[in-house]
Structure 1
Amino acid sequence: MTQTFTVSNRVDDRGNIARIRLTPEDGSGLPLPTAGAHLDIYLPEVDLWRQYSLCSDPAETAFYEIGVLKDPNSRGGSEAMHRLATPGARFKIEGPRNHFPLDETADHSVLIGGGIGVTPMIAMAARLHALGKAFTLHYCTRSAEVTAFTDTLCAAPFAERVVYHFDDQDADQKLDLERDLPPAADGTHLYVCGPQGFMDWVISTAEAAGHQPQNVHREYFSADVELSGDSFDVECAQSGVTVTVGADETIAKALAKEGVMIEVKCEEGVCGTCMTDVLSGEIEHRDQFLTDEEREDGDVIMACCSRGKGKLVLDI
């Protein structure tokens, strides 16, 4: 369901991060999110949907809060949010949705946020504290001078569980996965969010140390994705449409030309919006959304970025 929300408050924090509070324009109650959830926000000026994780306490009933980094490599979304999200501004919003859920049954949770990737971790920490669960939040940034949310975290009832790691400090203060990750155990779950290289390092190190893939949870805010490749055919089983996806096209764009619309939001294979069922064919996965097990199943594809070999038959 799409709702209109109003910006009720904005704080321009350190590190070019805007903390934006959103309240329903009609005064209706908020659908309570689960920890790790995000909002889909439409930016009409640039005709883009973008996803932003909630950093507010999942138990908060008056507002949602997000943190938005003004990324110098932005494709238009973060710059538009920084420019447009002033008090009183109105946005169409869908959600909250959650592709990064917290396992509330875990014995011990380790939350690792790199830069703006700390936003879902703050909500997770609030929920774990409310549940009385054991956890540690590792917050990694370049320096204390660019570390947003410090006032919120220092005042939080779980402040003693937050460990800060700054790149410009000595080696003992930086994140050391050999030291900072607990031993692998069935009841230990890890959560990581941040820049792609940072996440890949944490995930690969954790799994090499024996943490099972199903216990290492991840959410990519963005990803470097190569969209081009050899052309291939796509048949739509329900509509009867068949197209050739060119070397520099995506499945979604090729089908749109023939009137078959697949909803696309992130365009980078990180949000899951364009996930489409595959009936047959060899998939060349390029997304950061599916797990290895889901890729091996070979029955879904992200139509915004992934490709096929030869011919794919989609259930649309």
Structure 2
Amino acid sequence: MTLTTAAPPSSRRHGSDPLQLRVVDVVQAAPDVRTVVLAALDGTRLPSFTPGSHLVLTCGQRLNAYSLTGPALEPSTYSISVLHQRTGRGGSAWVHTQLRPGAVVTASLPRSAFAPVLSARHHFLVAGGIGVTAMLSHVRAALQWNRSFTLLYSYRPGHGAHVQELRRLRGQRLHEVHGRAATRRHLQEALAGQPLGTHVYTCGPSALIDTVQQYAAAAGWPAERIHAERFAVDELPPGEPFTARLTSSGRAIHVPSGTSLLEALEAGGVAVPSRCRQGVCGECRLSVRSGRIEHRDLYLSTEERTANDSIMACVSRGAEETVEIDL
């Protein structure tokens, strides 16, 4: 018997139209970690994405961003793995309790603020706990395009999400460590011994990210070769105070440490549209006339960040004393 297979449907999407996705599988990836596999509701292939991309899901009344862990080129499905944050704001609980095979969800097109630097001589990937989800697409792309890389994965024994998959993909490039002390020892040695032209990428708890940045700086790494993605807005440091000057009135809005620009504007009676308050939806995007920005969002692309002409008021901050906002 001969089977004739039709050509795959088009994967094109127009503009920023949201995706309608159906849950086709749910797998327990580790204790408290659920992997959800999503397919297009209309049966088409899904848009390709850049390694390090995330998908913003509408989780009930919230919007939450989750790293895409599967293949990046015209995939038939998207996969996300979500840790149940029992003290979180409800997004992970919604994924764990509401998403079952057959459920339909709305999502944005994939976006990446954590893409690999293609000119890098070597990619040193560092993952802590559920931060490994941001690294899986990096690993897949590096293998597909024969890029040099190693992955350090720090996790609690028995809680390593995707560790078996990573071992199968390329075990000799994977270094597994357990415990803070062992992680620090391995990081200090590894960061001091990487070849010139290496870029380091970290995703995980703030303490891990801070340690990587500290050790890399001590080893003489240029700042532009150190990349990090924090996986929860709750973990963002308070930041330095700054002043937002509004172009329409010349009014100066003081933004204290630990207070977002959005909160300071609202306290001053300035209305700004907002939705997620986590830097994922783009609703509170404001134009910047002058002043450097410390970008903390998961919405802007690398090119948009480099342009330094926008700020996500809910999470990002001024990187100098005064920032001029087009309001």
TM-score (norm 2): 0.77
Q: Deviations over 1:209-248 (max 9, x none)?
A: 11111111111111435779999776364xx797978989
Q: Deviations over 1:141-176 (max 9, x none)?
A: 122x111112322332x22211111129xx668752
- Residue 123 of structure 1 pairs with residue 133 of structure 2: no
Matched residues in 2 for 1:90 and 1:241: separation?
A: 47
Matched residues in 1 for 2:26 and 2:185: separation?
A: 30
Matched residues in 2 for 1:153 and 1:103: separation?
A: 21
In structure 2, the residue matched to 1:13 is: 29
In structure 2, the residue matched to 1:315 is: 326
Matched residues in 2 for 1:226 and 1:109: separation?
A: 26
Matched residues in 2 for 1:307 and 1:31: separation?
A: 31
> By how many angstroms is 1:67 displaced?
0.9
Q: Deviations over 1:30-87 (max 9, x none)?
A: 110111111111112xx21111111112236210111101113211111111111211
SS in 2 for 1:181: helix
From 129, 136, 151, the equivalent of 2:150 is 136
Distance 1:229 1:118, change over 3 A: closer
**1:277 and 1:299 in contact (8 A); partners too:** yes
In structure 2, list runs of 5 or more residues that go unmatched: 1-15
Q: Write out aligned runs for 1:34-53 (5 A).
A: 34-44=50-60, 47-53=61-67
> By how many angstroms is 1:305 displaced?
4.0
Matched residues in 1 for 2:308 and 2:143: separation?
A: 38
Matched residues in 1 for 2:71 and 2:211: separation?
A: 28
RMSD: 3.8
SS in 2 for 1:146: coil
In structure 2, the residue matched to 1:222 is: 232
Matched residues in 2 for 1:12 and 1:260: separation?
A: 42
Aligned-residue sequence identity (percent) comes to: 29
**1:185 and 1:211 in contact (8 A); partners too:** no
> By how many angstroms is 1:278 displaced?
2.6
In structure 1, list runs of 5 or more residues that go unmatched: none
From 154, 161, 168, the equivalent of 2:173 is 161
In structure 2, the residue matched to 1:76 is: 90
SS in 1 for 2:139: helix
Number of positions where the alignment pairs a residue of Structure 1 with one of Structure 2: 303
Matched residues in 2 for 1:258 and 1:202: separation?
A: 40
Matched residues in 2 for 1:182 and 1:278: separation?
A: 38
Matched residues in 1 for 2:162 and 2:32: separation?
A: 12
In structure 2, the residue matched to 1:147 is: 160
Distance 1:105 1:287, change over 3 A: closer
Distance 1:288 1:199, change over 3 A: farther
TM-score (norm 1): 0.80
Distance 1:147 1:227, change over 3 A: closer
Q: Deviations over 1:254-288 (max 9, x none)?
A: 55997954444353x5887644223358x896947
Distance 1:202 1:36, change over 3 A: same
**1:252 and 1:262 in contact (8 A); partners too:** no
From 30, 35, 41, the equivalent of 2:46 is 30
